[in-house]
Amino acid sequence: MGARSPQTSPERSPLFIQSLEKALFVLEAFSAAEQFLGLAEIVRISGLDKASAQRCVHTLVQSGYLEKDPQSGRFSLGKKVLDLSFHFLRAHPLVVAATPVLLQLRRDCGERTNLSLFDDTTVVYAIRLHGKQEYPQYSTLIGRRMPTFCSAGGRATLARLPDEEVREILDRSDLRPLTPQTLTDPDAIMEKIEEGRRVGYGFVNGESSPGELVVAAPIIDFSGRPVAAVHIAGSITKWQPDDFEKTFAPQAMEAAHFLSHSNGALPMPSFGGRRTPRGGSVDG
């Protein structure tokens, strides 16, 4: 991640607080770090001058949003950052409504179930429920962002938008591949999005994570806009891609339709019970 600089747009609102923006740049610098950053690294990543970065770091440490390691003198995100995540999740009506639905979906399908929230060029995971299959830790944490263009939920969401808006989002996207299977050609991506329009869901095979199969269906708000997606994820070691898609796409669409149109007022649906991969026993 390269250095960044505070914006200096002449159209900026007079209500904009530039010092607050600088503090947010400091916090965002930690998205490029494993855990700890020194002041010089924060300066480089945030694009701030040393004096501004030092003042922001001191303020954030004093308020609990950064913590300083007494041995190394380096900094990490503080535990108060988790408070913000908790309050976001507990107060978000879709996350609240989707939690029991995804729990039921996981029980019925035996695979990992996720809820992603659409955020323009990325989707951010707000619910991630494990199946019995083991996954790398980072891939099951809430708050993880993935590119919209190559994720099943992102494509399912884009499929419910006009082509002009989709093209504009792709133009602003970083189309670097995440795996050798990731499609990066805009025309090829548009073909997948058009396919999603026809069938009602998105499907990716190893494009966002090696060996991972994912189907996802969009959740639509009351204005008709896509706002999120329900995902079901499995492993290529357990499933043939065609079998996985045919088995779980109807379940993802049913869950997404329930969350789109019932607002949680209808009885919880059943999603059809567990399916058996490759003709063998289900281990979840």
pLDDT for res 35: 83
Query: What SS3 state is found at 190?
Result: helix
Band (pLDDT 50/70/90 cuts) for residue 254 is very high
Band (pLDDT 50/70/90 cuts) for residue 1 is very low
Running DSSP on this structure, what letter comes out for residue 125? E
- In the predicted model, is pLDDT for residue 120 greater than 80? yes
At 90, list the tokens. 């507990």
In what order do the strands lie in the sheet containing 226-235?
Answer: 145-147, 122-129, 112-119, 226-235, 212-220, 202-205
Higher pLDDT, 3 or 104: 104
Q: What is the pLDDT of residues 195-253, one digit of tens each?
A: 999 999 999 999 999 999 999 999 999 999 999 999 999 999 999 999 999 999 999 99
pTM of the model: 0.86
Lowest model confidence (mean pLDDT) among 140-144, 162-166, 169-173, 235-239: 140-144
CA angle at residue 214 from 211 to 219, to 5 degrees? 160
pLDDT for res 34: 73
At 100, list the tokens. 């029991």
Burial 78-87 (b: 16+ CB within 10 A, else e): beebeeeeee
pLDDT for res 80: 96
Lowest model confidence (mean pLDDT) among 72-76, 82-86, 142-146, 274-278: 274-278
Band (pLDDT 50/70/90 cuts) for residue 141 is confident
Band (pLDDT 50/70/90 cuts) for residue 284 is very low
If you average pLDDT over residues 28-37, what whole number do you get? Answer: 86
- In the predicted model, is pLDDT for residue 273 greater than 60? no
If you average pLDDT over residues 107-136, what whole number do you get? Answer: 89
- Which has the closest alpha carbon to 68: 42, 50, 44? 42
Give one word for 146, left, alpha or beta, with left for phi > 0 and alpha for psi -120 to 50: beta
According to the CATH classification, is domain 92-279 in 3.30.450.40?
yes
Sign of the Cα torsion 91, 93, 94, 99 reads positive
Average model confidence (pLDDT) for the chain? Answer: 89
pLDDT over 90, % of the chain: 80
Band (pLDDT 50/70/90 cuts) for residue 267 is low
According to the CATH classification, is domain 18-80 in 1.10.3720.10?
no
If you average pLDDT over residues 51-62, what whole number do you get? Answer: 97
Q: What is the pLDDT of residues 66-108, one digit of tens each?
A: 999 999 999 999 999 999 999 999 999 999 999 999 999 999 9
Band (pLDDT 50/70/90 cuts) for residue 261 is confident
Residue spans of the domains in the chain: they are 18-80, 92-279
Highest mean pLDDT among 7-11, 135-139, 259-263: 259-263
Q: Which residues lie closer than 8 Å to 237 by C-beta, 6 or more apart? A: 211
pLDDT for res 162: 97
